[in-house]
Amino acid sequence: MSNAKTDASPASQPTSTDWAGLGGTFIRFWQRFARRMWSDPVIIVGLLLVAGLVHGLQMTVTPSLLTTDDEGTYVAQAWAILYKGALAHYTYWMDHPPGGWIQMAGWAWLTHAFDRYDSAIAVGREFMLVATLASVALLYLLAKRLGMNKFFSIGAVALFALSPLAVYTHRLTFLDNIAIPWVLAAFLLAASPRNRLAAVIGSAVCFGVAVLTKETILVVLPALLWQLRQGTHPRTRRMSYFLWSVFAGCVGFIYILMAIVKNELLPGPGHVDLLYAIRWQLFDRASSGSFFDPTSAASVIVHSWVRLDPWLIGLAVALALPAMLRRQLRPVALAFVIQIAVMLRPGGYLPQPYVIALIPFAALIVAGAVGALWNSGLLNRFHLLRNQIPRTGFSYAQVLVQAPALAIVAVFGLVIAVPQWSPRLHDLMTDDRNVSVRQTMEWVETHIPTKKGDASPVHILVSDAMWVDLKRLGYAPDWYFKVDLDPAVKANYPQGWQDVDYVIFTNEMNEIAKSDSKADMTTTLASRKHGTLVAKFGSLSETIWIYQVHKPLRTSSGTG
């Protein structure tokens, strides 16, 4: 309420007494209404509605469920928590901390999500909507705490929620999307305007959870510590830092403690170990090459972002350093710059969802920098410019600064956002890129029995995108990677491809098989070689091929 009063628009005030009668009553009512509407809770509700609509329409079918195997993997892991009581559908080898899919499982458990959808990935997509909505509210509050007024705070959220790149990646079931609200909450609490120790501890816990959700978010740590410096008073700063470290460290340490308790910290026979997982993530993963090499994987990924929307990240790169002129924007700008620097490092692994953690900071930088320009008293030191322009409410200084800012916003809005973003958003909100998967599932259900003649299960090698769905229909699907990689799974296929009944091939599997990646697909490829194509759906990246594997006559290998 108090906010509403202070934010009353001065231009509309004098009229309230000038009018009498019905018209005056109406105007007064309207003014009161407008003032109420311009309060933070109402703005946040409005932002949630718009963001929810743009994110939510067609989110379970666009982008294609075949975009990446990761989506299916995370959803299968959440499914395994609820229905198998394990942290993963195969042996959990601590490739990522489990915080993200534990939260997803929590949502699915609360809302019976797996009962509501035929396609398991839709559950993950729905949870991404929840995460994005949380991020929207937090981002608005954070923007305000960083000194932006309501207009620019709304602008920051608009960039975050409407950029086609953001909408596209926010919809995909990635752990990064789940980590973002926690990171934003950590920044929001670190920026406590009243320097409260409680907020500092809250920030630490949120950051700990963020790291347990997606470990890569650790790279923004220096920026968060800087934010913490701005949100603490010299008299209590040391205490704040120490306690922040303890609480963030303890929450993060749960992951390592879990490994210790399960005896999976150090290498040993017969079990996975955390040290191996860390070594693999940091050093053994295939390099994505240099971003500057146009043929490298890194470059391909960056170009896929640019195709969706070059402007948000591009503008943020351009404005990151200018934004640092403003004290309050320095930490978030640093968070962005660190991530860009890590991305450009040669020889590392650049994952597809890397851009997700860039987006909120980019939005803050762009909105914050323009807002800072708009509100700056840049030219106020020149006496002449402080004079009012006759018959307007503005000073020369204001106009000289605010006109360019307005121009930037107008150009961005009219020339870029509307013509470039709207068709892409329209596609995202109307397309159905899931036809081939649906057709495949229907075909499998009608053409393949769940049990063979001798009541043994039907083994289908498949990508994780369809694993849970097949499992729930009663088949015995296996993620094609695991057949060669996981000794426990390999044991179910003593005769290799001869124990496979069907292979469902996706375009992604094709690409991996063709590429020189280190992935071992021996059994999968052998099964295809000995199979016949029985059905094919979709085209281009959404193509799916179903092969039935032909067994050789048993007599040849039998005891005779």
Interface with another protein (CB under 8 A), residue from 115, 270, 390, 540: 115
Q: What are phi and psi of 449, to 5 degrees?
A: -70, 155
Rounded Cα gap, residues 312 and 320, in angstroms: 12
Closest distance of CB 169 from another protein, Å: 25
Q: Smallest distance from the beta carbon of 243 to another protein, in angstroms?
A: 6
- The piece of 231-239, 343-351, 394-402, 467-475 that touches another protein (CB under 8 A) is 231-239
Q: Would you say 127 or 537 has its CB closer to another protein? A: 127
- The binding track of 7-36 with respect to another protein, each residue x by CB under 8 A or -, is ------------------------------
Q: Which two tokens stand for residue 443?
A: 């075909």
Pick 239 or 407: Cβ nearer another protein: 239
Q: From 181, 128, 138, select the one nearest 47 (Cα to Cα).
A: 138
User: Which two tokens mark 319?
Assistant: 């404005």
Residue 230 binds another protein (CB under 8 A): no
Among 84, 233, 303, 452, which residue sits at the site for another protein (rule: CB under 8 A)?
233
Per-residue tokens: 444: 């499998």
Q: Does 490 bind another protein (CB under 8 A)?
A: no
Each residue 93-112 as x (binds another protein by CB under 8 A) or -, in order, gives -----------------xxx
Query: If binding is defined by CB under 8 A, does position 245 make contact with another protein?
Result: yes
Could you say whether residue 53 binds another protein (CB under 8 A)? no
Cα-based distances in Å from 95 to 87, 176, 197, 216, 282:
12, 14, 34, 12, 11
Element (H, E) at 160: helix 150-162
CB of 236 to another protein, least distance (A): 5
What spatial distance separates the first Cα and last Cα of the chain, rounded to whole Å? Answer: 88
Cβ pair 502, 111 in contact under 8 A: no
The amino acid that residue 143 corresponds to is A
Which residues within the stretch 497-526 sit at the binding site for another protein (CB under 8 A)? none
Q: Name the minimum Å distance from CB 342 to another protein.
A: 29
We find the least distance from the C-beta atom of residue 47 to another protein, in angstroms, to be 15
Sequence-separated (6 or more) residues with CB below 8 Å from residue 305: 165, 313, 355
Site size for another protein (CB under 8 A): 32
Site residues (CB under 8 A) for another protein, limited to 249-268 = 250, 254, 257-258, 260-262
Q: Does 84 bind another protein (CB under 8 A)?
A: no
Distance (Å, whole) CA 387 – CA 193: 34
Match 């398991």 to its residue by tokens.
120
Phi and psi dihedrals of 7, rounded to 5?
-95, 5
Q: For residue 374, give both structure tokens.
A: 């708009």
Q: Which of 246, 266, 318, 321 binds another protein (CB under 8 A)?
A: 246
Selected from 195, 304, 402, 543, the binder of another protein by CB under 8 A is 195
Nearest 5°: the CA angle 333, 335, 338 is 105
Q: Shortest CA distance to 342 belongs to which of 251, 225, 190, 222? A: 222
Give the up-direction half-sphere exposure of residue 469: CA atoms within 13 A in the CB hemisphere.
Answer: 22
User: Quick one: 66 or 157, whose CB is closer to another protein?
Assistant: 157
Mark the segment that binds another protein (CB under 8 A) among 63-71, 75-83, 176-184, 193-201.
Answer: 193-201
Q: What's the chain's length in residues?
A: 560
Applying CB under 8 A, which of residues 29, 41, 282, 325 lies at the interface with another protein? 41
Q: Which is nearer to another protein, 111 or 375 (CB)?
A: 111
Closer to another protein by CB, 229 or 490: give it. 229
Q: Are 373 and 366 in contact (CB under 8 A)?
A: no
Of the listed pieces 162-170, 213-221, 236-244, 449-457, which binds another protein according to CB under 8 A?
A: 236-244
Task: Count CB atoms within 10 A of the CB of residue 380.
Answer: 13
Task: Kindly tell me which of 246 and 403 has the beta carbon lying closer to another protein.
Answer: 246
**Site residues for another protein per CB under 8 A:** 1, 40-41, 110-113, 115-116, 194-198, 233, 235-236, 238-240, 242-243, 245-247, 250, 254, 257-258, 260-262
